[in-house]
């Protein structure tokens, strides 16, 4: 197996310049053919003093024959051609990762947040509403709020149907067919990493413990080329053959979907699953997903596993986050999947058929919630999504700063998704149908609208509750305030009932008392929503990285969770996960220039002979580059 090592660029760069203080690559390549470095260095220094060619010195002193010199130049030319071809391939892959969707399916790309037609429509609506406010203030307010109330009423009714459809999760493979290992296909796990050196140890162990034949497991660790801390952390481990590192060239946009797109051409598996650095997937998840795919028919494109929070007891914020995840992934999404309506995917533990994922264009590198967008695009292309019950455990952000940054990115991405799929409303309606279009707006649009308008509803609720100020209550004749109370109380009640059901089924009744603080939590979401609006205008493609490793408690699951979700026996035995730490390996430093260089590979191109073992994007880096070797 290869190593990730630091190398320097070819001392004779492709612009024709030669680094001062060391022999050029044309001479250093002789070291690869058995000529000692001291002879090369001495000949180079003598040639500088005598103003002649270094090779003439080596030939006159009979250190090198002309035949050996010609062989060395052929070797260097061959490796430079290989390096150029690899660089061109990396540039092509990077271009495809960034521009493929925008180039071939521009209607699905968030490269441009607002289409010209949308700006014109928004401007027309804004002028119309402001004009109506000027001439018919109260009537306009009542009309708009009546429309909002009707929308909220529909959301409340839908939540009632979801509550009726919620069921307790069953065992992992209930009703599924357990395939023989010999019949299983290759399964690829993609893990995009950025500044995640602290998560590497536990991540590698949990990935290796996935219950799937290791010779049919293809795990891609995707790192940015300039994320040296994460690459160094991975380099401390001697990994099994099922692991491979994909190094992505640095380029804008610096987003997770761009990195996933870059790795997509190297996928070996028939199925693909996404994991994040902090994820702890249950071992049996791949088998249940495969069984679901086997039963789901050709139109089943994606299977979503539930995401659960393991540090829910750390503080109030993580507890509310856990309630939110349980409600979404074990309550709402399974019912939506049963109804076969569009599902906004979670950001991890999505299982795809590789062929369909490539067919629909992969991920949008410009959408900061590529998961939600892809879920809608899958449905528009004639496929559907289902859910399974074997979970992945995640860490909730325990600090307000980390939580706000993550939630801002989510809301901005949902807004991007609404804008992208709302560019041509008639075409969107034809793709989905009226029933599915209604479900789409009651699920995704309601998330954004409620987050933005929640402070306004709370404001008028407080006016009604305390009758302050009385003149304002009189002006609106009670209509505006009454509808505000209905929207707010109805929203809290239906969500609270749904949360109580899923908390009971998950054995976390101790969190139920926190539902009384739901208004405060939703107010925080509103703050993040308005921050997302500002970012959508000023920094639409900015990715707010969520810091991980902030949990104050070790990862563990309860007996109740194990009983509900099936086989969750996370092993911690090195015999089960033969991933061992090893010392960092660097190339020998060059005594002349101090650059890290292997004297047997003076051009720094030896790794090209192993390019089929790992794919990397190192073009343009001038120093301290990770070699593109596979683990």
Cβ(46)–Cβ(59) below 8 Å: no
Give the list of residues 6+ apart from residue 510 with CB closer than 8 angstroms, or none.
none
CB atoms under 10 Å from CB of 118, counted, come to 16
- pLDDT-based confidence at residue 22 (cuts at 50, 70, 90): confident
375-417: pLDDT as tens digits: 999 999 999 999 999 999 999 999 999 999 999 999 999 999 9
CB atoms under 10 Å from CB of 513, counted, come to 9
What average pLDDT does the segment 38-45 reach? 88
- pLDDT-based confidence at residue 127 (cuts at 50, 70, 90): very high
178-225: pLDDT as tens digits: 678 889 999 999 999 999 999 999 999 999 999 999 999 999 999 999
What average pLDDT does the segment 153-163 reach? 92
Asked, as a colleague might, if the bond just before 469 is cis with ω within 30 of 0, I would say yes
End-to-end Cα distance, the chain: 5
pLDDT confidence of residue 517: 96
Cβ(280)–Cβ(570) below 8 Å: yes
Which DSSP helix (H) or strand (E) runs through 280? strand 280-281
Q: How far is CA 504 from CA 168, 190, 222, 326, 556, in A?
A: 9, 33, 38, 10, 19
Q: How far is CA 423 from CA 109, 428, 429, 580, in A?
A: 11, 8, 11, 51
Strand partners, 616: 247
- Half-sphere exposure at residue 416, Cβ-oriented, CA atoms within 13 angstroms: 32
442-479: pLDDT as tens digits: 999 999 999 999 898 888 777 766 665 554 555 555 66
Angstrom distance (rounded) from CA 564 to CA 549: 27
Instruction: Read off the tokens for 589.
Output: 């430093």
Give yes or no for residue 144 having a pLDDT over 60.
yes
59-118: pLDDT as tens digits: 888 888 888 888 888 888 888 888 888 888 899 999 999 999 999 999 999 999 899 999
546-597: pLDDT as tens digits: 888 888 766 665 555 555 444 444 444 444 445 555 432 222 223 223 333 3
Domains of the chain (ranges plus CATH)? 6-104+586-626 (no CATH), 181-398 (3.90.550.10)
pLDDT confidence of residue 23: 86
DSSP 293-352: HHHH-TTEEEEEPPEEES-TTS-HHHHHHHHHHHHIIIIIHHHHHHHT------SS-EEE
pLDDT confidence of residue 141: 82
- pLDDT-based confidence at residue 609 (cuts at 50, 70, 90): very low
pLDDT confidence of residue 550: 82
Give yes or no for residue 535 having a pLDDT over 60.
yes
219-254: pLDDT as tens digits: 999 999 999 999 999 999 989 999 999 999 999 999
């Amino acid at each position: 197996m290869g190593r990730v090592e630091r190398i320097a660029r070819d001392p004779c760069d492709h612009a024709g310049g030669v680094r001062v203080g060391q022999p050029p690559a044309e001479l250093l390549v002789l070291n690869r053919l058995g000529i000692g470095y001291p002879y090369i260095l001495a000949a180079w220094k003598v040639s500088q003093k005598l103003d002649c060619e270094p090779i003439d010195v080596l030939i006159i002193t009979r250190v090198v024959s002309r035949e050996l010199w010609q062989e060395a130049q052929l070797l260097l030319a061959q490796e430079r051609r290989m390096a150029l071809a690899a660089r061109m391939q990396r540039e092509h892959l990077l271009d495809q990762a960034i521009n493929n969707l925008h180039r071939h399916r521009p209607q699905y790309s968030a490269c441009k947040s607002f289409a010209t037609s949308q700006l014109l429509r928004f401007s027309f609506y804004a002028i119309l509403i402001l004009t109506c406010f000027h001439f018919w203030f109260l009537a306009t307010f009542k009309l708009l709020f009546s429309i909002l109330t009707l929308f909220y009423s529909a959301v409340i009714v839908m939540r009632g149907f979801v509550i009726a459809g919620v069921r307790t999760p069953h065992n992992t493979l209930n009703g599924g067919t357990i395939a023989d290992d010999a019949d299983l296909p290759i399964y690829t796990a993609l893990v995009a990493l950025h500044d995640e050196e602290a998560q590497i140890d536990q991540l590698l162990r949990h990935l290796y413990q996935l219950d799937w034949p290791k010779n049919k497991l293809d795990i891609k660790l995707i790192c940015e080329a300039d994320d040296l801390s994460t690459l160094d952390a991975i380099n401390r481990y001697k990994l099994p053959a099922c692991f491979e590192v994909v190094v992505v060239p640095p380029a804008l946009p610096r987003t997770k979907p761009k990195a996933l797109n870059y790795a997509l051409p190297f996928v070996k598996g028939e199925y693909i699953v996404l994991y994040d650095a902090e994820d702890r997937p249950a071992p049996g998840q791949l088998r249940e997903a495969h069984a679901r795919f086997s039963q789901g028919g050709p139109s089943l494109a994606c299977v979503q596993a539930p995401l659960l929070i393991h540090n829910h007891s750390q503080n109030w914020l993580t507890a509310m986050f856990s309630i939110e995840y349980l409600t979404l992934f074990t309550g709402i999404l399974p019912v939506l999947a049963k109804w076969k309506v569009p599902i906004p995917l979670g950001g991890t533990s999505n299982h795809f058929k590789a062929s369909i994922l490539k067919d629909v264009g992969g991920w949008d590198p410009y959408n900061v919630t590529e998961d939600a967008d892809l879920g809608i695009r899958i449905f528009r292309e004639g496929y559907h999504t289902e859910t399974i019950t074997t979970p992945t455990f995640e860490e909730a952000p325990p600090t307000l700063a980390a939580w706000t940054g993550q939630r801002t990115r989510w809301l901005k991405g949902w807004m991007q998704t609404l804008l992208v799929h709302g560019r041509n409303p008639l075409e969107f309606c034809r793709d989905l149908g009226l029933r599915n279009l209604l479900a789409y707006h009651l699920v995704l649009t309601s998330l954004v609208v409620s987050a933005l308008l929640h402070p306004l509803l709370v404001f008028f609720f407080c006016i009604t509750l305390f009758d302050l100020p009385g003149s304002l209550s009189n002006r609106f004749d009670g209509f505006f305030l009454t509808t505000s109370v209905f929207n707010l109380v109805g929203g809290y009640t239906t969500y609270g009932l749904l949360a109580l059901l899923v908390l009971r089924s998950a054995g976390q009744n101790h969190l139920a008392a926190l539902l009384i603080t739901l208004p405060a939590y939703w107010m925080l979401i509103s703050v993040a929503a308005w921050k997302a609006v500002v970012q959508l205008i000023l920094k639409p493609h900015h990715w707010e990285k969520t810091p991980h490793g902030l949990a104050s408690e070790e990862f563990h699951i309860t007996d109740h969770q194990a009983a509900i979700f099936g086989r969750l026996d996370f092993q911690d035995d090195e015999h089960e996960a033969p991933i061992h730490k090893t010392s960092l390996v660097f190339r020998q430093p060059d005594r002349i220039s101090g650059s890290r260089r292997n004297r047997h590979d003076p051009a720094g191109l030896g790794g090209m002979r192993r390019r089929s073992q790992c794919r990397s994007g190192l073009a343009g880096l001038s120093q301290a580059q990770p070699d593109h070797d596979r683990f």
